[in-house]
Amino acid sequence: MHEVIEVMPEGSLEVLSQQEVNALLSATADSGQHEILRRCALAVLNVGSRTDNTREILEQYADFEVNIVQQDRGVKLALKNAPSDAFVDGRMIRGIREQLFAVLRDVVYVNSKVAAGHFALGHSEGITDAVFHILRNARVLRIPAEPRLVVCWGGHAISRVEYDYTKELGYQLGLRELDVCTGCGAGAMKGPMKGATIGHAKQRVRGGRYIGITEPGIIAAESPNPIVNELVIMPDMEKRLEAFVRVAHAIVVFPGGVGTAEELLFLLGILLKPENRDVPVPLILTGPESSAPYFETIDRFVGATLGDEARRKYRIEVGDPARVAELVQDSIEHVGAFRHQQNDAYYFNWRLQVDMDFQAPFEADHATMAGLELHRNQDVHDLAVQLRRAFSGLVAGNVKEHGIQAIEEHGPFEMRGEQHVMSELDNLLTSFVTQRRMRLATDTYEPCYRLLS
């Protein structure tokens, strides 16, 4: 599309006051905020992308531009040189238009409130409050609520057999009238949604929910898949992860790479807190029979670093998606009974306590990665914090623009720690590289890290 296309709101921001319009225009006047909006909008429009190289995407569409146009009844967006796949016969696909205005809602509208000091981000309760308000503003939190939302984690660079398994499990979840939430990208983030649409159709479920939760630093590498009908862009990775665990009634983990490991360690670290040990958060690791070695490697790493208590927080089930869906449904009924008994909300898990160490944004660079404390001579919860940050840094080094640039300028991130922990980490990462779980690209993976003991 080599012209300017003007797009009206869909799904978000249809009705705005003049004060809200002025706030949007003021926020995008900031060059940094406008660039975030541009990148996230490009990711939504770049539907069907087969690359996870953020720089490649940005270079390919270097002439893409997005601007807010004020009108008496609100705003519209002016797009210049937008990717053609977002259009059919010159008209933008409706679902993509919904996602585009979800970007505007979250990246500009919500972040302007954060910048204006509406949330007390200096302490844990204030961050959780911000997560709640962002989700509520996105209409993710609904009344009346039912416990039926399954969060699915997993990699975008998975095999066809693994993808088909995620789709079959999604189908089984849909047949049980359960909704799906993922990181919104391809692979294990798309498969469960695609399967659930068929299950919902067979059960005549209207209003099936396919929620995608992402953040600005990763959205370009994991563009939202077109099935997502509720897109939420959290301000950073930590708020994204907290949003997942707060809205989930059960969590399913498919095979993945360093991003999936980060998600798993985030949750395990929270569940290992003594205050959270009685809060039910069902967690199942699953995939086809061929994925059994992958889960054995994950299980070994967790046991060798965080111990058997952490291993008891999940169960591994391979090869039987119908059985997994049955277990998920049973566990969600237990969650519903628990929250009813405790008079807790179904739509947001307030009872879980999340420490500031997990909530504070981790900025991966050579200094912070080298400063990680990767040893067992500390509380297991604290080690989980450090390991989660290590994997967050590896995600940055693999797919985020600032991480890729830092490595090009200064070489791989170096991580040091206890020999036992570093050996287990090396085994896990080597398995990811061998199984091609680091990138979608077909070229040889160049490690963004160096491990030292």
Q: 216 and 94 in one domain?
A: no
pLDDT tens digit sequence for 379-406: 999 999 999 999 999 999 988 888 989 9
Pair (78, 206) in one structural domain: no
Boundaries of domain holding 8: 4-118
**259 and 353 belong to one structural domain:** yes
Q: What is the pLDDT of residues 163-183, one digit of tens each?
A: 999 999 999 999 999 999 999
Which of 3-12, 219-228, 392-401 has the largest mean confidence? Answer: 392-401
Tens digit of each residue's pLDDT (9 = 90 or more) over 346-377 = 999 999 999 999 999 999 999 999 999 999 99
Model confidence at 8, pLDDT cuts 50, 70, 90, reads confident
Q: How many domains does the chain have?
A: 2
In a domain, 128, yes or no: no
Instruction: State whether 358 and 405 are in the same domain.
Output: yes
**90 and 18 fall within a common domain:** yes
Q: What percentage of the chain reaches a pLDDT higher than 90?
A: 66
- Contact status, residue 261 vs residue 391, Cβ threshold 8 Å: yes
* Assigned token pair, 326: 């049955």
Task: Record the pTM.
Answer: 0.92
> pLDDT by residue (tens digit) across 289-344?
999 999 999 999 999 999 999 999 999 999 999 999 999 999 999 999 999 999 99
Whether 276 and 399 share a structural domain: yes
Q: Which residue would you say has higher pLDDT here, 20 or 315?
A: 315
Question: Which residue, among 148, 381, 168, has the nearest Cα to 249 in the 3D structure?
Answer: 148
Of 118, 133, 153, the last residue of a domain is: 118
pLDDT band, residue 267 (cuts 50/70/90): very high
Cα(98)–Cα(224) distance, integer angstroms: 12
188 and 81 belong to one structural domain = no
Flag whether 45 is in a domain.
Answer: yes
Give the angle 86-87-93 at the CA atoms, nearest 5°: 75
Q: Is the peptide bond before 226 cis (omega within 30 degrees of 0)?
A: no
pLDDT at site 27: 67
Mean pLDDT (the chain) is: 90
CATH code of the domain in which 29 resides? 3.30.1850.10
* 326 in a structural domain: yes
